[in-house]
Structure 1
Amino acid sequence: MPFTRIAVRAGKLATYRKALMQGVHLALMEVFKAPEDDQFMIVTEHDADNFVFGRHYLDIERSDDIVMIQIAVSNTRGQDQKKALFAQIAENLARDPGVRREDVFINLVDVARENWSFGNGAAQYAT
């Protein structure tokens, strides 16, 4: 169900990128009860000219190590569950690979269930 895009500055090690994906997926499993094998993620790296962000927006001091995460999920969760997911992702990424909480930017995109196709040209969640 979740489709996750993670964007970072170019030059991060493969182990770092893998830890980002693992930390996000663990949070999705814990908070949103996503199945273990329901993992669809993309990590992209960008040079400085193609990676722009507000360093001080909302009085949060961000560094070049900002991690931008966008997660598309079915629109079945409430505000409290979303807040819990944000907190759990920040906690997981702070622990491993050591991302500052200020550098964890998350955007959750709610998608109607009928807007997913997981293969075979079928709308598996459509009723």
Structure 2
Amino acid sequence: MPFSRIMVQTGRSEEALKIISDTLHQTLVDEFNVPPKDRFQVIDEYPEGRLIFDETYLSGKRTSNYILFLITAGKPREKEMKARFYQVLSQRISERTGISQDDVMVVVQFTNPDDWSFSGGKLYTIQEAVNEGN
């Protein structure tokens, strides 16, 4: 049950944003044990100077193509699964958009099922999480 924010600098085409969004979702399904219909995303676009990042911190060289994925997930994943997800996502983004893997940053945060209400003001419970496979 992840909720994802995709943060980019303004100027990308709708087609490019769709490719980024679709790539994130497909990688979550393939590598992060997310059901195909569990897709909740927001794309935030920032004007130049409003998406601030260091060009080289723990990376090669970041550019204005920088993308920050902030993923809030409902159940913890093993370290190996997270590592594979990060690698596959950055590789797919690079292959499908031409954006350097150095421009892809991912932050994953985990919550408890009762931190979510999917609709109707109802608390999402552990049992529902088990039933949904999340």
User: What TM-score do you get using the length of structure 1 for normalisation?
Assistant: 0.94
1:72 matched to 2:51: no
SS of alignment partner, residue 72 of structure 1:
strand
Residue 9 of structure 2: aligned partner: 9
Residue 103 of structure 1: aligned partner: 103
Q: Cα RMSD over matched residues?
A: 1.2
Residues 22 and 80 from structure 1, CA distance in 2 versus in 1: closer, same or farther, beyond 3 angstroms? Answer: same
Q: Which runs of 5+ in 2 are unaligned?
A: 128-134
Equivalences, count: 127
The worse-fitting range, judged by mean Cα deviation, of 27-36 and 101-110 is: 27-36
Residue 51 of structure 1: aligned partner: 51
Residue 21 of structure 1: aligned partner: 21
CA shift, 1:33, in A, is: 2.0
Q: Which runs of 5+ in 1 are unaligned?
A: none
SS of alignment partner, residue 117 of structure 2:
coil
Equivalent AA in structure 1 for residue 62 of structure 2? R
User: What TM-score do you get using the length of structure 2 for normalisation?
Assistant: 0.89
CA shift, 1:124, in A, is: 2.3
Residue 41 of structure 1: aligned partner: 41
Rounded Cα–Cα distance in structure 2 between residues aligned with 1:123 and 1:98 = 41
The worse-fitting range, judged by mean Cα deviation, of 8-17 and 74-83 is: 74-83
CA shift, 1:9, in A, is: 0.7
Deviating 4+ runs (over 2 angstroms): 124-127
CA shift, 1:125, in A, is: 3.1
Rounded Cα–Cα distance in structure 1 between residues aligned with 2:67 and 2:44 = 10
1:33-80 C-alpha deviation (Å, 9 max, x unpaired) = 211111000111111121110101024211110001100002331111
- Do 2:59 and 2:102's aligned partners in 1 also have CA atoms closer than 8 Å? no
Rounded Cα–Cα distance in structure 2 between residues aligned with 1:90 and 1:117 = 30
